């Protein structure tokens, strides 16, 4: 495989809300620091996502000093919400993320009312404390934990894979439709499909399974509107067993800092 470099690092502090582009990030046991440690849940403490509530795409997140700032696009009537990166919460609830039931800390009414108003129905913001250890599917990775991400700590894809897809689309799409954690440049389209293990700087990573894609990729983050692409086109050449794949799920075997510009060094591929 030819030379690759890290060209993008992204975190999504609140599950299914907007992401933040970073020049560097700490890789922790659960993935990138601050990534999907927060989540919105409904009145039954079940997780909420853009799959059913595409208007969540209109909420975006900024990080400033020691605070998260959440804002709503195209809405001047709702003032931004500020919450500390290290929350001081005491009330614990059990929340559901897919098949997992895990302990989380819940915010007070002021915060919850802000989100309820912003997305149009009653919901609550919760935080995953360090004491909660949500395991990934042990069929693919043993003794690995994850935050509130769907299943795995990291998702990686290559710029050339998106370029290949965009060459087939009438209207090219940006990478943020796919909500990656790590993006690399160089090589050929879908080089990530063939990776088994790699290094970024001195940190070791393993690719555990292809990432199947859902309708969130069809939600325009700028408008909250839904379309048919990119799933319609991807299904013509990236479908297997009824699922459409783009990007690879990854776990880290090291902790430390990664940076945009770092080389991605391939250790093993599926062809070894």
Q: What's the confidence (pLDDT) of residue 77? A: 79
Q: What's the confidence (pLDDT) of residue 1? A: 54
Q: What's the confidence (pLDDT) of residue 271? A: 85
Domain 4-269 - what CATH class? mainly beta
Q: What's the confidence (pLDDT) of residue 2? A: 65
Number of residues that this document lists for the chain: 272
Domain boundaries, the chain: 4-269
Tokens linked to 175:
């990478």
Predicted confidence band at 93 (pLDDT cuts at 50, 70, 90)? very high
Q: What's the confidence (pLDDT) of residue 196? A: 96
pLDDT in tens, 32-67: 999 999 999 999 999 999 999 999 999 999 999 999
Share of the chain above pLDDT 70, in %: 99
- Taking the C-alpha atoms of residue 236 and residue 238, their distance in angstroms, rounded to an integer, is 6
pLDDT in tens, 173-185: 999 999 999 999 9
Per-residue 3-state assignment (H helix, E strand, C coil) for the chain: CCCEEEEEEEECCECCCCCEEECEEEEECCEECCCCCEEEECCCCEECCCCCCHHHHHEEEEEECCEEEEEECCCCCCCCEEEECCCCCCCEEEEEECCEEEEEEECCHHHHHHHHHHHCCCCEEEECCCCCCEECCCCCCCCCEECCCCCCCEEEEEHHHHHHHHCCCCCCCCHHHHCCCEEEECCCCCHHHHEEEEEECCEEEEEEEEEECCHHHHECCCCCCECCCCHHHHCCCCEECCEEEEEEEEEECCCEEEECCCEEEEEEECCC
Nearest to 120 by CA among 224, 228, 11: 224
Predicted TM-score (pTM) above 0.85: yes
- Taking the C-alpha atoms of residue 132 and residue 80, their distance in angstroms, rounded to an integer, is 29
Predicted confidence band at 78 (pLDDT cuts at 50, 70, 90)? confident
| 154 touches 12 (CB < 8 A) | no
- Taking the C-alpha atoms of residue 60 and residue 257, their distance in angstroms, rounded to an integer, is 25
Q: What's the mean per-residue pLDDT of the chain?
A: 96
């Amino acid at each position: 495989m030819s030379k690759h470099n890290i060209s993008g690092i992204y975190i999504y502090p609140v599950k299914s809300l907007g992401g933040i582009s970073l020049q560097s990030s700490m890789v922790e046991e659960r993935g990138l620091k601050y990534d999907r440690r927060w989540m919105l849940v409904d009145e039954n403490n079940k997780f909420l996502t853009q799959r059913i509530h595409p208007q969540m795409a209109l909420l975006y997140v900024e990080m400033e000093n020691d605070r998260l700032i959440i804002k709503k696009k195209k809405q001047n009537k709702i003032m931004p919400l500020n919450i500390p990166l290290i929350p001081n919460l005491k009330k614990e609830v059990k929340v559901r993320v897919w098949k997992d039931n895990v302990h989380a800390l819940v915010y007070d009414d002021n915060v919850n009312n802000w989100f309820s108003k912003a997305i149009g129905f009653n919901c609550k913001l919760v935080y995953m404390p360090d004491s909660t250890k949500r395991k990934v599917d042990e069929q693919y990775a043993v003794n690995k934990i994850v935050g509130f991400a769907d299943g795995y700590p990291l998702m990686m894809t290559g710029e050339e894979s998106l370029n290949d897809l965009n060459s087939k689309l009438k209207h090219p799409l940006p990478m943020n439709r796919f909500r990656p954690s790590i993006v690399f440049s160089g090589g050929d389209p879908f080089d990530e499909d063939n990776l088994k293990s790699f290094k970024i700087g001195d940190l070791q990573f393993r690719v555990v399974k292809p990432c199947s894609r859902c309708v969130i990729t069809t939600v325009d983050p700028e408008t909250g509107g839904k379309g048919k692409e990119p799933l319609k086109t991807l299904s013509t050449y990236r479908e297997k067993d009824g699922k459409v794949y783009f990007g690879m799920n990854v776990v880290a075997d090291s902790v430390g800092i990664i940076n945009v510009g770092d080389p991605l060094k391939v250790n093993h591929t599926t062809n070894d």
